[in-house]
């Protein structure tokens, strides 16, 4: 009979039968990780590329949500649009993306101005006013979900691309797929 000690996780012991327990634990752990057929894996690598995401990032989002990434929610900071009428220097990558684009726009930039700027660059984007950092969590949720509902996107299929910790909170408040910094996204 073994006695559990404080801080012990009751994992495999060094008592008789250790080799079998080590094998059983290893097999159970391996069974948790799905073995995907090569065709599915190739399709997912291709999808990650179409989204402009590194495969590792795409796979982790897909594993955590159980669904494909179908859209992105950008802040105007992430797009590098800091004033009305300013073109985004990041439109070249966005033109290649096979997903719905949405955006939340901080004051003093206008959501309509960002929409028009993106349209002038051949990109369609659904925009709305970004929530203020002092708003309640539920008000932030409503504001973040507004352009996503307008675009008919499933919330857990949208990845937030932003620059600030406030923008990172959007993902949690609205129950979205996750958050990625704009540098990590645009430099991938």
Give 131-150 pLDDT, tens digit per residue: 998 999 999 999 999 999 99
Q: Is residue 51 part of a domain?
A: yes
What residue spans of 87-181 are helical by DSSP H? Answer: 91-96, 111-120, 137-150, 165-173
CATH of the domain at 178: 3.40.50
Q: Is residue 22 part of a domain?
A: no
Q: Is residue 25 part of a domain?
A: no
Q: Is residue 16 part of a domain?
A: no
pLDDT reported for residue 13: 60
Q: Please answer whether residues 142 and 114 qualify as being in contact, where contact means their C-beta atoms are separated by less than 8 angstroms.
A: no
pLDDT reported for residue 4: 53
Q: Is residue 6 part of a domain?
A: no
Q: Is residue 19 part of a domain?
A: no
pLDDT reported for residue 10: 63
pLDDT reported for residue 27: 81
Q: What is the pTM of this model?
A: 0.80
pLDDT reported for residue 87: 87
- For the chain, residues with pLDDT lower than 70 are 1-14, 29, 32-34
User: 122 lies in which domain range?
Assistant: 38-186
Q: Is residue 120 part of a domain?
A: yes
Task: Give the separation between CA 136 and CA 160, rounded to whole angstroms.
Answer: 19
pLDDT reported for residue 14: 62
pLDDT reported for residue 19: 80
Q: Please answer whether residues 170 and 176 qualify as being in contact, where contact means their C-beta atoms are separated by less than 8 angstroms.
A: yes
pLDDT reported for residue 58: 95
Report how many domains make up the chain: 1
Q: Is residue 55 part of a domain?
A: yes
pLDDT reported for residue 177: 96
Task: Give the separation between CA 131 and CA 106, rounded to whole angstroms.
Answer: 8
SS3 (DSSP) at 36? coil
């Amino acid at each position: 009979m073994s006695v559990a000690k404080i801080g012990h996780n009751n994992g495999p012991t060094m008592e008789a039968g250790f080799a079998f327990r080590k094998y059983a634990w290893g097999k159970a752990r391996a069974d948790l990780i799905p073995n995907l057929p090569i065709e599915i894996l190739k399709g997912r690598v291709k999808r990650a590329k179409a989204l402009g995401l590194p495969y590792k990032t795409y796979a982790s989002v897909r594993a955590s949500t159980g669904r494909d990434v179908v859209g992105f929610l950008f802040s105007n900071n992430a797009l590098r649009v800091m004033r009305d009428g300013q073109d985004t220097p990041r439109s070249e990558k966005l033109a290649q993306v096979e997903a719905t684009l949405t955006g939340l726009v901080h004051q003093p930039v206008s959501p309509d101005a960002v929409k028009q700027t993106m349209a002038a660059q051949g990109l369609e984007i659904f925009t709305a006013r970004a929530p203020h950092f002092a708003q309640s969590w539920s008000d932030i949720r409503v504001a973040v979900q507004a352009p996503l509902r307008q675009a008919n996107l499933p919330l857990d299929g949208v990845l937030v691309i932003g620059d600030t910790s406030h923008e990172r909170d959007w993902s949690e408040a609205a129950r979205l797929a996750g958050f990625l910094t704009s540098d990590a996204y645009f430099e991938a």
